[in-house]
Amino acid sequence: MATLIAYTKQQLIERIKRHIANEFPDSSFSASDNEVLLYVDSAAAFTLVGQAYANAKVEGNIAIGEAWLTTYALDALQEDTISGYWYTTLPQPPVNLPLGYSISRVYFGQGGLGQSREVLPIKAKRVGYRIDMPMPSGARYWVEGSRMWVAAYDGQSLLDLPLYATMAKTRTESMTEALNMPDDAIEAIFTNVVAKLVQRMQLPKDIVQDDIGAGNKSS
């Protein structure tokens, strides 16, 4: 099977800058790669959430397209000595989707033992209430920003248990990493960023219609 060429954010940024330079030939355009990247990452999250809700109109439930998803081996769990809960750091704060959709799966995995049952999500604001409620066996997690908290139903230690999360990542870790998103999302991000940069930098646009005749010269 032929190997597909992987698109990167560096290539997307170069495409955006070349497009604007050709469309608006003006030396005042001086946006750096980092500035354009801020627009790209913002547009990526906006596009992902929009596509998830668009999918809901077809499938009847919110769903992130498979092309967006990546499974990450998270950093080793550490224990908070005050609460007794365990925590790790996500690749980024989850996108703005309801609980259970912004992160598709969380589970433990260990060589020779395979995968655990799913770690169940709960809302961060419900953590205090859950202490006084019956809990299913297994583990639960909740998220605060980019930090994921995990606790076993019986309070047992989670030391040295590798944790995995399947989620979408829209922020950039490396300019050369592959774009994990569908092709139509790349085009939507391109269009979004070009429009915002043109508005932000007040770039002049050539609106002369060269194919229209000069008209009646005798008037």
Minimum mean pLDDT range among 64-78, 162-176, 199-213: 199-213
Q: Is the pLDDT of residue 2 over 70?
A: no
Question: What secondary structure does DSSP assign to 188-199, as a single string?
Answer: HHHHHHHHHHHH
Percentage of the chain modeled with pLDDT above 90: 53
How far is residue 144 CA from its own chain's centroid? 16
Per-domain residue ranges of the chain:
26-201
CB 115 within 8 A of CB 103: no
Percentage of the chain modeled with pLDDT above 70: 87
Q: Which pLDDT score is estimated for 150?
A: 97
User: pLDDT tens digit string along 188-197?
Assistant: 999 999 999 8
Q: Which pLDDT score is estimated for 209?
A: 58
Q: Which pLDDT score is estimated for 148?
A: 97
In whole angstroms, how far apart are CA 62 and each of 47, 74, 109, 128? 14, 25, 27, 28
Q: Is the pLDDT of residue 24 over 60?
A: no
213 CB-near residues (< 8 Å, 6+ apart): none
**Helix, strand counts (H, E) of the chain:** 4, 9
What average pLDDT score do residues 31-60 get? 91
Rounded distance between C-alpha atoms, residue 189 and residue 50, angstroms: 12
Q: Is the pLDDT of residue 69 over 80?
A: yes
User: pLDDT tens digit string along 93-147?
Assistant: 999 998 888 999 999 998 888 899 999 999 998 888 877 787 888 999 999 999 9
pLDDT band at 30 (very low <50, low <70, confident <90, very high): confident
Phi, psi of 45 (to 5 degrees): -65, -40
Q: Which pLDDT score is estimated for 192?
A: 95
Rounded distance between C-alpha atoms, residue 146 and residue 89, angstroms: 6
Q: Is the pLDDT of residue 6 over 80?
A: no
What average pLDDT score do residues 48-56 get? 92
Q: Which pLDDT score is estimated for 28?
A: 59
Q: Is the pLDDT of residue 173 over 90?
A: no
Q: Which pLDDT score is estimated for 86?
A: 97
* Token pair listed for 15: 């495409």
pLDDT band at 180 (very low <50, low <70, confident <90, very high): confident
Q: Which pLDDT score is estimated for 78?
A: 97
Q: Is the pLDDT of residue 41 over 60?
A: yes
